[in-house]
C-alpha cells in the first residue's frame, strides 16, 4: 500500500475590489473548482475533469485579472520534435519567416491529413496572427476584437454549440502546440478528407477544389483562400514545385513589371467594378496587373468591389517615395497601399455620401483585412483613421509591414 501523497498547497484567495459581490462569488466558485482539481485522488471522473478544464479555459479567456490569478497557468504543451529543414520542401522565405517551433509544429500536424501540406497550415498561421507574433487582442489571451476567436490560429470559442474549438481543439487554444493540430483536424474534416466538391467555389484562385472548400469553411471569403494558397506556395521550395504564376517571392525589377498570370490578379484587372485613372504622375493599371501588390491590398480591393464601384488613382508607380513632409517611406513605395478617388461614380470629397459610407465600412473590418492606415476627408476620430489637406479628394488605404 503506497503512502498518501502530500496535498499540494492551496491557492491563496485573491483580493477583490470592495463592493464587487459578483466578483467575490466568481472567485469563490473558481477557488472551489481549483481545489477539487488539485486535490489528490480521482475525485472526478475523466469526463468531468475534462469539463472542468474547459471551464477553466473559458474563464481564463475572459481575461479577468482576479480570476486569472486563481487559475493555474496552462501547462506548456510538449514541443514538436525538430525537423530536418532539408527534407520538408521549405523555401528560404519560409525558413526566414516562420519561427522554428511553429515550423516543426506545422510539419508534424499536417501529417494527420494526407492531403494537407504543412505550408497551408503555415499560410493560415501567417494570415491570422503572423505565426503568433501579433499583439492584437485574442492572440495571447481573451478574445479578438470581434469577440469570437482566440489563439494563434484564431479558433471560434463562442459559436455553436459546440464551438469550433470544442469540436476540433484539445488543450489550450493559445498554445500553438494545441491550436495548430486542431486546425489540421478542422481542414481535414471540412473538405480535405472527402471527395472534392463538384464545382470550385473560388475559381479565381489556384489550387484544388477541396482545398478551397476547406479554407472557405475556415474563413468564408475567396480573398482569404487566395492569401493562404499564395503564401503556402511562397513557403514551398522552388525545386519541389512547378510554381504558381504571379506569386513570385522576389522583388520587382526596375521598370514596368510584367503582367501576372495569377487568376486572382486577372480577376481584379477585369472586374468591372474596379477601374483606374492616371493622375498626379501615378499609373495604377500596370501596377494592379503586375501581381506585386501586397496580398492584403489585393484582398481589400476584391472585398471593396463586392460592395462599391471604385476608381484607383494610385498604387505604386508615380507616388513619392516618402510620406509628404516626412522622411518616412510611404506604403505606396513598398506596394502596401491604394488610393481611391471615386466611389460609386462619385468623386471623393468631404460631401460625398458614397466615400463616407466606404470609410465607415472600412472601420467595421476586423482581422486580416483591417487596414493599418486610412486617410480620407472625414474626421473619424480614432486610429487608424486620419484626415488632412492631402486627403480631401481620395481615400487612402495602407498596411504596415508584418513584423
Q: Is residue 384 assigned to a domain?
A: yes
What is the spatial distance between Cα 300 and Cα 398, in angstroms, rounded to a whole number? 10
Residue 5 has what pLDDT?
Answer: 41
Same domain, 125 and 215: yes
Q: Per residue in 232-259, pLDDT tens?
A: 999 999 865 544 433 344 455 555 567 9
What would the grid cell of residue 75 be?
Answer: 501547462
Residue 26 has what pLDDT?
Answer: 46
Same domain, 130 and 271: no
Residue 110 has what pLDDT?
Answer: 98
Whether residue 180 has pLDDT greater than 90: yes
Residue 402 has what pLDDT?
Answer: 82
Residue 240 has what pLDDT?
Answer: 56
Residue 199 has what pLDDT?
Answer: 96
User: Which CATH number characterizes residue 350's domain?
Assistant: 3.30.1380
β-pairing, 373-375 vs 385-386, is parallel
CB atoms within 10 A of CB 239: 7
Please give the average per-residue pLDDT across 358-366, as a whole number. 96
What is the spatial distance between Cα 175 and Cα 359, in angstroms, rounded to a whole number? 36
What is the spatial distance between Cα 338 and Cα 299, in angstroms, rounded to a whole number? 11
Q: Is residue 8 assigned to a domain?
A: no
What is the spatial distance between Cα 95 and Cα 79, in angstroms, rounded to a whole number? 18
Whether residue 315 has pLDDT greater than 50: yes
Residue 70 has what pLDDT?
Answer: 35
Same domain, 100 and 157: yes
Phi, psi angle pair for 379, to nearest 5°: -80, 85
Tally of domains within the chain: 3
Please give the average per-residue pLDDT across 317-345, as a whole number. 96
Residue 19 has what pLDDT?
Answer: 47
- CA distances to 93, 232, 252, 261, 308 from 266, rounded to whole Å, are 25, 20, 18, 7, 19
Whether residue 185 has pLDDT greater than 70: yes
What would the grid cell of residue 289 be?
Answer: 496587373
Residue 23 has what pLDDT?
Answer: 47
Q: Per residue in 3-12, pLDDT tens?
A: 434 444 434 4
Same domain, 91 and 219: yes
Please give the average per-residue pLDDT across 79-102, as a whole number. 91
Contact 44, 80 (CB under 8 A): no
Contact 187, 202 (CB under 8 A): no
Whether residue 391 has pLDDT greater than 60: yes
Please give the average per-residue pLDDT across 111-119, as a whole number. 96
Q: Is residue 76 assigned to a domain?
A: no
DSSP label at residue 329: B
DSSP labels, 155-193: EESSSSSSPHHHHH--S-TT-HHHHHHHHHHHHIIIIIS
Same domain, 211 and 133: yes
pTM across the whole model: 0.79
What is the spatial distance between Cα 110 and Cα 230, in angstroms, rounded to a whole number? 18
Same domain, 115 and 49: no
Q: Which residue is associated with the grid cell 501547462?
A: 75
What would the grid cell of residue 385 be?
Answer: 483613421
Q: Is residue 198 assigned to a domain?
A: yes
User: Which CATH number characterizes residue 139's domain?
Assistant: 1.10.530
State the residue range of the domain holding 174.
85-240
Q: Is residue 279 assigned to a domain?
A: yes
Same domain, 315 and 347: yes
Q: Is residue 121 assigned to a domain?
A: yes
Contact 312, 342 (CB under 8 A): no
Residue 135 has what pLDDT?
Answer: 93
Which residues, 6 or more positions from 294, have their beta carbon under 8 angstroms from its beta carbon?
Answer: 334, 335, 336, 399
* Region of poorest pLDDT, from 82-86, 183-187, 189-193: 82-86
Q: Is residue 15 assigned to a domain?
A: no
CA 331 remoteness from chain centre: 20
Same domain, 94 and 60: no
Same domain, 178 and 110: yes
Q: Is residue 60 assigned to a domain?
A: yes
Same domain, 56 and 93: no
Please give the average per-residue pLDDT across 67-86, as a whole number. 55
Same domain, 190 and 323: no
Same domain, 66 and 102: no
Q: Per residue in 158-167, pLDDT tens?
A: 999 999 999 9
Please give the average per-residue pLDDT across 297-318, as a whole number. 98
Phi-psi region of 130 (alpha: psi -120 to 50; beta: other; left: phi over 0): left
Q: What is the mean pLDDT of the chain?
A: 83
Which residues, 6 or more positions from 154, have their beta carbon under 8 angstroms from its beta carbon?
Answer: 128, 129, 138, 139, 144, 367
Amino acid at each position: 500500500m503506497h503512502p498518501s501523497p502530500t496535498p499540494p498547497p492551496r491557492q491563496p484567495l485573491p483580493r477583490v475590489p470592495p463592493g464587487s459581490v459578483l466578483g467575490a462569488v466568481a472567485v469563490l466558485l473558481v477557488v472551489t473548482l481549483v481545489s477539487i482539481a488539485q486535490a489528490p485522488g480521482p475525485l472526478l471522473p475523466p469526463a468531468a475533469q475534462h469539463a472542468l478544464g474547459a471551464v477553466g479555459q473559458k474563464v481564463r479567456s475572459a481575461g479577468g485579472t482576479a480570476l486569472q490569478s486563481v487559475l493555474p497557468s496552462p501547462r506548456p504543451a510538449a514541443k514538436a520534435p525538430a525537423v530536418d529543414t532539408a527534407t520538408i520542401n521549405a523555401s528560404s522565405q519560409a525558413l526566414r519567416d516562420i519561427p522554428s517551433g511553429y515550423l516543426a509544429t506545422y510539419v508534424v500536424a499536417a501529417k494527420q491529413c494526407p492531403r494537407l501540406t504543412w505550408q497551408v497550415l503555415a499560410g493560415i498561421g501567417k494570415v491570422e496572427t503572423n505565426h503568433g507574433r501579433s499583439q492584437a487582442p485574442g492572440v495571447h489571451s481573451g478574445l479578438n476584437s470581434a469577440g469570437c476567436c482566440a489563439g494563434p490560429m484564431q479558433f471560434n470559442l463562442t459559436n455553436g454549440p459546440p464551438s469550433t474549438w470544442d469540436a476540433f481543439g484539445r488543450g489550450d487554444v493559445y498554445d500553438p502546440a494545441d491550436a495548430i493540430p486542431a486546425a489540421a483536424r478542422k481542414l481535414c474534416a471540412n473538405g480535405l478528407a472527402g471527395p472534392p466538391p463538384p464545382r470550385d467555389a473560388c475559381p479565381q484562385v489556384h489550387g484544388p477544389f477541396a482545398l478551397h472548400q476547406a479554407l472557405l469553411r475556415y474563413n468564408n471569403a475567396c480573398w482569404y483562400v487566395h492569401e493562404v494558397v499564395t503564401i503556402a506556395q511562397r513557403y514551398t521550395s522552388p525545386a519541389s514545385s512547378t510554381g504558381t504564376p504571379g506569386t513570385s517571392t522576389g522583388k520587382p525589377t526596375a521598370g514596368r513589371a510584367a503582367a501576372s498570370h495569377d487568376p486572382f490578379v486577372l480577376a481584379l484587372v477585369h472586374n468591372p467594378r474596379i477601374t483606374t485613372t492616371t493622375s498626379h504622375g501615378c499609373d495604377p493599371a500596370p501596377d494592379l496587373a503586375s501581381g506585386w501588390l501586397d496580398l492584403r491590398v489585393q484582398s481589400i480591393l476584391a472585398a471593396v468591389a463586392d460592395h462599391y464601384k471604385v476608381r484607383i488613382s494610385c498604387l505604386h508607380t508615380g507616388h513619392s517615395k516618402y510620406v509628404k513632409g516626412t522622411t518616412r517611406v510611404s506604403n505606396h513605395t513598398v506596394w502596401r497601399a491604394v488610393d481611391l478617388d471615386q466611389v460609386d461614380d462619385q468623386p471623393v470629397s468631404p460631401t460625398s455620401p458614397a466615400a463616407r459610407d466606404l470609410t465607415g465600412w472600412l472601420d467595421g473590418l476586423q482581422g486580416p483585412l483591417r487596414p493599418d492606415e486610412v486617410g480620407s476627408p472625414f474626421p473619424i476620430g480614432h486610429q487608424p483613421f486620419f484626415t488632412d489637406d492631402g486627403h480631401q479628394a481620395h481615400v487612402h488605404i495602407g498596411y504596415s509591414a508584418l513584423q
